[in-house]
Amino acid sequence: MRSALKHLIAAAAVWTSAAAMASPQCLVPAKPGGGMDLTCKLTQKGLADLLHASAAESQMQLSYMPGGVGAVAWNAIVSQRRAEAQTLVVFSGGSLLNLALGKFGKSSPADVRWVAALGADYGMIAVRSDSPYKTLKDLMDAIRRDPAKVSIGGSGTVGSQDWLKMALIAKRSGIEPKALRFVALEGGGEAFTALSAGYVQAVSGDASEALSYAGKGNVRVLAVLADERLPGALAAVPTAREQGFDLSWPIIRGFYMGPQVSDADYRRWVQAFDRMLAQPAFDRMRADYGLYPFALTGDALTAYIRKTVDGYGRQAKELGLVR
């Protein structure tokens, strides 16, 4: 009890110094409703609950900067907002893939400061609840018969992680990925809106994004791209591997900051996340948001990011997406 209280007091002290500055801002590089948005809202709640923040200036504010599946926000931070000590920008595994593919321009992981990874998500494939496709095999059989009749919505364009998920499943089904009718959308929220309206027949996205839509009874998740079935609300959904498609697609979610944020301010944020991630209450909160345990901060996260981006770059070259 004393140890927990000590951590809370220390965390509150860190946050009090932050509150003395401008209000913290969580920048979502996508439209509302997707996994990026959920990551900000989880952090907003986690920090407020943990530190008992009540003053308006100590509560994290959300803002949205969609465009280029993260590229617009990235370029704003590295070119115009390089030293904003109170601005955190969400990233995901898709952001790292786009970085490796050169979709953020001539950028590298060294161009920003990597703060924290909060959890892991997994890819999934979904259709409307009234869709004739009951399994992933049903969907792929329909695409094989006539690719033009089955449009697949996802975040980003050809080469994005949502496209890659479907491309890899297609290859395992004997379908040429170039034949896929992929509809490029801006974020998971827009993809599910398109699915609901019948603009697309399937969505390649993330499990956390599907949770809120599946819970309303509007969406049928055909498969999760994990090694094992996921606990919680999607526990009844089989993995792609169970259905004969050997693919797992984990996705991490976290935050970066501008490259000229001072060491002191950077460490303050890393310490705040370290304390938040150490609390059992945050584990429960993370699960409620459809994320699974994965926590790295500071130098350890930076090393992980560099290794991951290098790995994506090698895979992209193998697929002919980059030279």
Q: Tell me: do 188 and 298 sit in the same domain.
A: no
Q: Tell me: do 111 and 8 sit in the same domain.
A: yes
Q: Is the dihedral of CA 146, 144, 226, 275 positive or negative?
A: negative
Q: Tell me: do 8 and 116 sit in the same domain.
A: yes
Q: What is the pLDDT of residue 31?
A: 86
Give domain status of residue 201, yes or no: yes
Look-up: residue for tokens 């060294």? 110
Q: Tell me: do 45 and 99 sit in the same domain.
A: yes
Contacts of residue 320, Cβ cutoff 8 Å, sequence gap at least 6: none
Q: Tell me: do 80 and 15 sit in the same domain.
A: yes
Average pLDDT of adjacent 10-residue blocks, the chain of 323 residues: 43 43 87 87 85 54 89 95 97 90 92 96 95 97 95 87 90 89 87 93 91 80 94 91 92 96 96 93 90 94 95 77 74
The C-alpha atoms of residue 290 and residue 91 are separated, in whole angstroms, by: 16
Q: Tell me: do 39 and 105 sit in the same domain.
A: yes
Q: What is the pLDDT of residue 312?
A: 84
Q: Provide the 10 A C-beta neighbour count for residue 94.
A: 27
Q: What is the pLDDT of residue 49?
A: 67
Q: Tell me: do 234 and 300 sit in the same domain.
A: no
Give domain status of residue 323, yes or no: no
Q: Tell me: do 113 and 131 sit in the same domain.
A: no
The C-alpha atoms of residue 77 and residue 116 are separated, in whole angstroms, by: 17
Instruction: Say how many domains are in the chain.
Output: 2
Of the three residues 243, 272, 303, the one that is the final residue of a domain is: 243
Q: Which amino acid is at 183?
A: V
The C-alpha angle 300, 79, 110, rounded to 5 degrees, equals 25
Q: Tell me: do 68 and 16 sit in the same domain.
A: yes
Give domain status of residue 222, yes or no: yes
Of the three residues 243, 267, 301, the one that is the final residue of a domain is: 243
Question: DSSP assignment of 108-133, as one string?
Answer: -GGGSEEEEEEEEEEEEEEEETT-S-
Q: What is the pLDDT of residue 69?
A: 74
Q: Tell me: do 137 and 172 sit in the same domain.
A: yes
Of the three residues 195, 226, 243, the one that is the final residue of a domain is: 243
The C-alpha atoms of residue 198 and residue 208 are separated, in whole angstroms, by: 21
Q: Which amino acid is at 271?
A: Q
Which CATH number belongs to the domain containing residue 9 in this structure? Answer: 3.40.190.150
DSSP class of residue 143?
Answer: H
- Do residues 205 and 214 touch, judged by C-beta distance below 8 A? no
- Tell me which residue range forms the domain holding 14: 2-121+250-318
Model pTM score: 0.75
Q: Tell me: do 29 and 131 sit in the same domain.
A: no
